[in-house]
Structure 1
Amino acid sequence: MKQKLAVFDMDGTLLDSLPDLAESGRALMAQYGLPSVSDTEVRRMIGNGVPLLVERLLHSASGKGAEVAARLAKIDHAQACQAFMALYTPRATRLSRLFPGTNEALRTLKEQGWALAVCTNKPEVAALAILEKFDLLPLFACVGGGDSFSARKPDPVHLLGTIEKAGGTPARTVMIGDMVPDLAAAKAAGCPALFAAWGYGDPALATQAQGEAASMADVPEAAARLLAN
């Protein structure tokens, strides 16, 4: 029988990355001479990877006057994504912190015989650097970034590719995440999802998962229940 595999989303699940993402978003908007954004606004934009985050940042400036509209019209989206990553990469762990109990929960899972993986819409290089910074990288059998495969969450190709590289199977995998892409990818991949209630997602999303954990400390027990059913 294949080893049990716990696959974690990153932003809003392992990592409270909102402060650095918001700071980078504000820096990008300032670079283009666009109105700033608040942490609350950026929080609603997170979860679908850099291209969509940048698209949402730029869209937030829509309807704010002819001068702003003229600036928006001159922006190339691909170049804006590159500019965002240039701003975000050096500051990705400046303000971000692991959610409480993350280290302990991951080590408990390992002690209980689970393999661990990350499936994040962040670019793989950024995800690896963040995990290394927090001394977590050795714990993970695979880190599947948003550019690691031919598609990203919610497409199941992303999650299935991560599971395969980690040596697991969907039937023995639990996907832990806080947003629609995590839960939708798990459903399409055929593995149970555990909703991370401490993250950025709407609490109502718990109804789309097979289980829920109130904190990282609750994950080992909650994940075990899902594979016991």
Structure 2
Amino acid sequence: MMTASLPRLAVFDMDGTLIDSLPDLAACASRLLVHYSLPPITPDLVRPMIGDGVAVLVRRLLAHAGPAAAAIDPAEATTRYMADYTPHSTDLSRPFPGTETMLAGLRADGWRMAVCTNKPVAAARHILRVLDLEKWFVAVGGGDSFDTRKPDPRHLLDTIALAGGDPRRAIMTGDHHNDMAAAIGAHVPAIFARWGYGRPEMEAGATVGADSITEVTHLAGEIIPA
């Protein structure tokens, strides 16, 4: 089969790329800490903790709390965090401005789309459904969908396979070094989402950076022409 005859697939990270989820993640983080009689935390401190999955986020929250959190079981705290976060995950979270216009543009250009996130897949699907974004995606690869998760390239490759795509005709867009590392390892071009939560140095290895999500439609077409 000629490569050019294969459908193009645009894969997206979720938190900090498609969705501004920081307000809900931070609110849940504060409620968790307060439950353990620890001081609440501000969103600007939670921002750099996002991107490696819930368990890592909770461990970082407990580490931030210092010695007062030493006796807290991270596994129990993670379970408590998820039990609170899932029903509140769309209280304040919203798609970044221009997200639906970008997705509509990709679909009009013949792209298929998928999500590859370290967030548990049930939570990811719930958020996409409530925010009316699920209709755009042919597959969602969550942090518990496969045996691996980003930055392991197999997480991205398995998501591409789940979407019926081919790595030779796929791109990855994300705001974290995990997204870039997964794309590099999978030999998939990557767009770094500068509008997201990642630090500037996380753009290293990206094919190109975008200042706004509205640029993705054009950039994707330049990277993999129809």
**Residue deviations 1:109-166, cap 9 Å, x none?**
0110000000011100000011101111121010001110101100112111100000
Listed as ranges, the matches of 1:62-81 within 5 Å are 62-63=66-67, 68=68, 72-81=69-78
1:225 corresponds to 2:222: yes
2:53 to 49, 56, 62: 49
Q: How far, CA to CA, are the matches of 1:62 and 1:75 in structure 2? A: 11
Q: Does residue 19 of the first structure (1) align with residue 16 of the second (2)?
A: no
2:32 corresponds to which of 24, 28, 32: 28
Conserved 8 A contact 1:22-1:39: yes
Equivalenced residue count is 221
Contact 1:212 1:222 (C-alpha < 8 Å) held by counterparts: no
Say whether the 8 Å CA contact 1:128–1:137 is kept in structure 2.
Answer: yes
- Tell me how far 1:208 sits from its aligned partner: 2.0
TM-score by length of 1: 0.94
- How large is the Cα RMSD of the aligned pairs? 1.0
Q: 2:138 maps to what in 1?
A: 141
**Alpha-carbon distance in 1 for matches of 2:202, 2:223:** 17
> In 1, Cα distance between the equivalents of 2:153 and 2:202?
18
Matching residue of 2:184: 187
| Identity across the alignment (%) | 52
TM-score by length of 2: 0.95
Aligned to 2:86: 89
Cα contact 2:180–2:203 (8 A) shared by 1: no
Q: Which runs of 4+ in 1 moved over 6 A?
A: none
Mean Cα deviation higher: 151-160 or 5-14: 151-160
Structure 2: gaps of 5 or more residues: none
Q: Structure 1 unaligned runs (5+)?
A: none
